[in-house]
Chains A and B, each alone.
Chain A
């Protein structure tokens, strides 16, 4: 009797062998890793173009071995639209944070979704503006303290956190909308599945896919990374529930199954 060892988990090939600039415990690292894994599993690395936003993930292309470009703040889905229309047979991913997607680029977000652009939007919601040091985001929770809501977000003054998935679900065109999170290993697995599904749908030409990922920003939240993961579960998830809001391809398959 002898033992034979094999890798159960290997670092994905699409991930470049460099240290990221992200803080310890930042969710972007997990999402990059999952995205890189998805590129490998679907064998689409060589045909993928990533549009990076303004925000912490602006240097995304330094970590993932795909073609990439930077959009102006908030214009990420518009740039992605321009890329996709010029190269309809490429996989185009718009990777965005909460400021990019829901504040300075709300118009671009809604209209790319409304046109049903065959792109994938990965939305990293960490309830604050990380890159600039932790200011209030459109997704900052009520009473959450940030640099620009020092006494906690007061909805009487700044409104309530915006729910992107619910907002986009009012539109007819999007094919797939799901909210997932990173608060524990099981949630991370589901996040990976959602990313793979979104990219798969794009590959099949199903149309606009949107994955919102609740992610931790322990540095700006002022807590330990593990506590950050817990905070997602205890504070963010009640306001931003996990849900598949739209899955047209699956709905069509189910309807087809019933009919036959």
Chain B
């Protein structure tokens, strides 16, 4: 019998991290992800793991770096302003190719912003975020179950590609309680001969991000990273579609926005309007070919976000001018509404109809 547990998204993610074998968790409290910190403080001892409430976000991310360099499965989590501070170590870990998982339970910005959920960190997450030429894998769940499932996958992806993996969810997902079936460990194991464990019976292992020789070392390292990112881009194509087969109007959204958009699709269909939803579950690499394919038979595309337009840029790049891309978003913790989405799509139907009449 499947056992459901009622859990907050944040707690589901924390428990999933433990299931995935995360034994080192370092963080600094910030709303709306505090449940992760408290859960880890309470439950890490159960698995003989390490929890430290760090002195700062920067220190927390650096502790992750230390444990990741030691070969352990390490994680930190925060919310938007805290993630900005963590960018320092994320860049270092991307450069030094250290696997780790970082969860951003986004809140409204810019600056201190607010504590309600938002999606204003899309650019930061998908473009690298810190300094230098790098990307991180960005997983985008839209419910507590996916927060748990994606977390388990995130640790494997991090180890497989030796890269930081970001779980990008918003405060609503983190705070909402939903029934969750806790995932099973994947059982995958990864050799880490590069870890710094003491140079016994082998040469030194050195984990660096300083490479001073521009042409023969640092450029080569960057090329190596780019090759890896290309491999990741070829391999990781994650998305879900909802009623897109015969859709005239395509919605694109992730996270909480996608849940709202899906509801709008159902309502529109009740009114005989053929709408569908494309939901990327990984934001970098972005499922661009798949979105273009999905959009190829649609008349127009509406991107819905809890921001003033970030993912919409990737959507436009994906369809590359093939169809018109419109945007609807609300930010600062406000949510897009089903009503507004329906009004937009109905307006398209109307203008399309008048356009046909005129020609």
Contact = CB atoms under 8 A, between A and B. Distances in A.
Contacts of A80: 66
B197 A78 contact: no
Interface string B22-57: 011010000000000000000000000010101110
A68 B210 CA distance: 12
Contact of A70 (B70, B71, B209): B209
Interface residues of B, number: 40
Interface stretch (B4-12, B88-96, B273-281): B88-96
A258 to B, nearest CB: 37
Contacts of A68: 196, 204-207
Contacts of B71: 86
B85 to A, nearest CB: 11
Interface string A64-76: 0111111110110
Interface string A105-129: 0011011000100000000000000
A49 B62 contact: no
Interface string A124-149: 00000000000000000000000000
A90 to B, nearest CB: 5
A78 B54 contact: yes
Contacts of B58: 72, 74-75, 78, 107-108
A5 B69 CA distance: 45
B63 A66 contact: no
B209 to A, nearest CB: 6
B62 A72 contact: yes
Nearest to B212: A59
A61 B50 contact: no
Contact of A78 (B62, B69, B207, B209): B62
A58 interface: yes
B206 A61 contact: yes
Given A72-B89, A75-B58, A82-B26, A67 B63 contact: no
A71 B58 CA distance: 11
A202 to B, nearest CB: 13
B208 interface: yes
Contacts of B62: 71-72, 75, 78-79, 82, 108
> Do most interface residues of chain B lie in helix, strand or loop, or is the interface mixed?
mixed
Nearest to A114: B55
B199 interface: yes
B329 to A, nearest CB: 34
A83 B67 contact: yes
Contact of A85 (B50, B65, B92, B208): B50
A66 B202 CA distance: 10
B355 interface: no
Nearest to B58: A75
B199 A69 contact: no
B198 interface: yes
A78 B66 contact: yes
Contacts of B66: 51, 69, 71, 78-86
B200 interface: yes
A60 to B, nearest CB: 10
Interface stretch (A30-38, A40-48, A162-170): A40-48
Nearest to B26: A82
Nearest to A110: B55
A87 interface: yes
Report, nearest first, the 3 A-B pairs whose CB atoms are least far apart: A82-B66, A75-B62, A86-B70
23 contacts: A45-B199, A46-B198, A51-B66, A61-B208, A67-B198, A67-B204, A68-B206, A69-B96, A70-B210, A75-B65, A78-B54, A78-B66, A79-B62, A81-B52, A82-B62, A83-B196, A85-B66, A86-B23, A86-B66, A86-B72, A90-B198, A107-B58, A110-B55
